[in-house]
Amino acid sequence: MTKLSVNINKIATIRNARGGNIPDVVKFAIDCEKFGAEGITVHPRPDERHIRYNDVLALRPVIKTEFNIEGNPIKSFNELVLKVKPNQVTLVPDAHNAITSNAGWNTKENLTFLTEIIEEFQRAGIRTSIFVDADEEMVTYAAKTGTDRIELYTEPYATQYPENPEAAIEPFVRAAQLAHKLGLGINAGHDLNLENLKYFHENIPFLDEVSIGHALISDALYMGIEETIIKYKECLM
């Protein structure tokens, strides 16, 4: 069964635009779990323009499913993860000024760096995942780091899907098959939505988890969060 982890960054973005605590990030996470989400994802950035470090600390005691913290492994991020000890940390090579994640790691060039970070998190009992493109060389070097999983960066799939689903999915199938052969778990995320998620799930073998935020939260503006989570989970059946 592929788990649905809801990225709640956009809820924090709305809150921060006005100040105060509306909408309540913690309550929203609890409700997502109540409505069927199998995980909650947050991506705290150094400028705290959406999820804040304090949000991460407040969320940890209340999340009953899986807590996934993703981000660039700079010193402050690493200290936060080691303090919170989520179920999973996903390493993402974000520039400080990036609007959103836009590429996976070059795992070959960053092999030593990633290996050292992953060893530290694993010693703390935290499952690790590396954000990678659907590139077999990058998957191969991800496995060399000792990571538990990879997360496939799916924006290229989502962009090509409307015109040619078969071509869009092909490199992801190859990457997933190789990852499984190398003993890696497989997550996926970025621009997955109600139009392209079902096809992705049907064609990607061994998919453990998808992390979805922007599209899911946008759909919830029209359908409500409970109905939206139900529809996304139907795509994963």
pLDDT in single tens digits along all 237 residues of the chain: 999 999 999 999 999 999 999 999 999 999 999 999 999 999 999 888 999 999 999 999 999 999 999 999 999 999 999 999 999 999 999 765 555 566 899 999 999 999 999 999 999 999 999 999 999 999 999 999 999 999 999 999 999 999 999 999 999 999 999 999 999 999 999 999 999 999 999 999 899 999 999 999 999 999 999 999 999 999 999
Where are the domains positioned within the chain? 3-234
Is pTM beyond 0.85? Reply is yes
Question: Which one-letter amino acid corresponds to residue 197?
Answer: L
Residues 151, 187 contacting (CB under 8 angstroms) = yes
The pLDDT value given to residue 95: 64
The DSSP line for 175-214 is: HHHHHHHTT-EEEEESS--TTTHHHHHHHSTTEEEEEE-H
CA distances, 78 to each of 25, 107, 168 (Å): 22, 19, 34
As given in the structure block, the two tokens for residue 53 are: 């470090």
Residues annotated as catalytic (active site), given as ranges: 43, 70, 190
The pLDDT value given to residue 97: 58
**CATH of the domain spanning 3-234:** 3.20.20.70
As given in the structure block, the two tokens for residue 63 are: 């999340």
Give just the sign of the alpha carbon dihedral 160, 162, 168, 173: positive
Q: List the one residue out of 225, 196, 209 whose CA is nearest residue 14.
A: 225
